[in-house]
């Protein structure tokens, strides 16, 4: 992080949270198209921003819910691909977040559920289904030694192609993270470490097309709707970078760091000033 920006960016979570709590009823949805990520429920159903777990049990688990909003109608949608980025506030990725199917300390603790649960009043499925798909990769280190990236996809048959319209929040994915190996023999350390999780990109594909109809790479409802935190982490130095695997910066991902949330400042700031902290 550049030294001259460090102090300002440490205020991002507090200021974004303040703006969300004060302005959400008036301005929600005004920045679509984009993505939302929350714990337990869709953004529109009041899903949680931060999740605090006592790290004292190996049973049950947590649910990450991803949704999208559009500013145009897109028809004949047959599949959705996503990228979720995880960064810990530690020098290296904690073993508790080592979730790769091959060689991960908690190799069976991450799963994709394409179905919406619990039922939502504000967030609707993007297709009538039935759905197929699953996790693609869980790769360590895309944004440094404390990071990991999850990819996956959900698809429907040609008989259930989706038509997505503006003004609606669409459920697209649920990631379940169980509590296995948190305590006891064989436990994986690092459950207590603060972590920041971004839904970095959601791509919509239409039937018969190999190129995505749209890439959604930013928050649909304020900057803060794109990410959640674990154990009171908060993101710092948030910006978007070109995906090096495609030319002309046609696709991007969200780059960020993560730190433990400290005492918040009481200094007042405008929402425009908060947005200016993001490049």
Q: How many CB atoms lie within 10 A of CB 106?
A: 21
Bridge partner residues of 82 (DSSP)? 152, 202
Every domain of the chain and the residues it spans = 3-276
Cβ within 8 Å of residue 85, ≥6 positions away: 142, 143, 147, 148, 149, 150, 197, 198, 200, 253, 254, 256
Distance of CA 15 to the CA centre of its chain: 19
Q: How far apart are CA 228 and CA 38, in angstroms?
A: 6
Q: What is the pLDDT of residue 244?
A: 83
Residues of the chain with pLDDT below 50 are: 1-30, 264-279
Maximum Cα interatomic distance, the chain, rounded to a whole number of Å: 55
Q: What is the pLDDT of residue 128?
A: 86
Q: What is the pLDDT of residue 240?
A: 86
Cβ–Cβ < 8 Å for 36, 226: yes
pTM here is: 0.82
Cβ within 8 Å of residue 26, ≥6 positions away: none
Query: CA separation (Å) from 19 to 26, 28, 37, 122?
Result: 11, 11, 17, 21
Q: What is the pLDDT of residue 279?
A: 40
Cβ within 8 Å of residue 117, ≥6 positions away: 63, 174
Choose among 113, 253, 109: nearest CA to 182.
Answer: 109
Question: Sign of dihedral through CA atoms 112, 115, 117, 123?
Answer: positive
């Amino acid at each position: 992080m550049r030294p001259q920006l460090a102090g300002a960016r440490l205020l991002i979570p507090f200021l974004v949270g303040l703006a969300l709590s004060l302005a959400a009823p008036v301005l929600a949805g005004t920045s679509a198209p984009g993505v939302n990520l929350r714990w337990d429920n869709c953004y529109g159903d009041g899903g949680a921003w931060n999740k605090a777990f006592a790290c004292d049990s190996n049973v049950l688990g947590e649910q990450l819910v991803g949704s999208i909003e559009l500013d145009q109608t897109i028809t004949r949608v047959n599949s959705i691909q996503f990228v979720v980025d995880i960064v810990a506030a530690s020098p290296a990725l904690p073993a508790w977040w080592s979730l790769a199917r091959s060689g991960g300390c908690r190799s069976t603790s991450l799963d994709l559920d394409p179905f919406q649960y619990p039922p939502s009043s504000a967030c609707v499925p993007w297709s009538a289904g039935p759905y197929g798909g699953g996790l693609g990769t869980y790769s360590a280190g895309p944004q440094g030694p404390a990071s990991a990236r999850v990819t996956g996809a959900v698809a429907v048959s040609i008989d259930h192609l989706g038509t997505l319209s503006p003004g609606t929040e669409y459920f697209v994915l649920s990631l379940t993270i169980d509590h296995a190996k948190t305590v006891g023999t064989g436990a994986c350390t690092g459950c207590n470490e603060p972590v920041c999780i971004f839904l970095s990109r959601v791509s919509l594909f239409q039937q018969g097309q190999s190129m995505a109809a749209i890439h959604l790479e930013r928050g649909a409802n304020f900057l803060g709707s794109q990410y959640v935190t674990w154990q009171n982490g908060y993101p710092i130095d948030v910006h978007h970078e070109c995906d090096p695997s495609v030319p002309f910066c046609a696709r991007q991902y969200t780059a960020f760091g993560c730190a433990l949330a400290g005492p918040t400042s009481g200094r007042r700031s405008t929402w425009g000033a908060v947005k200016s902290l993001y490049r």
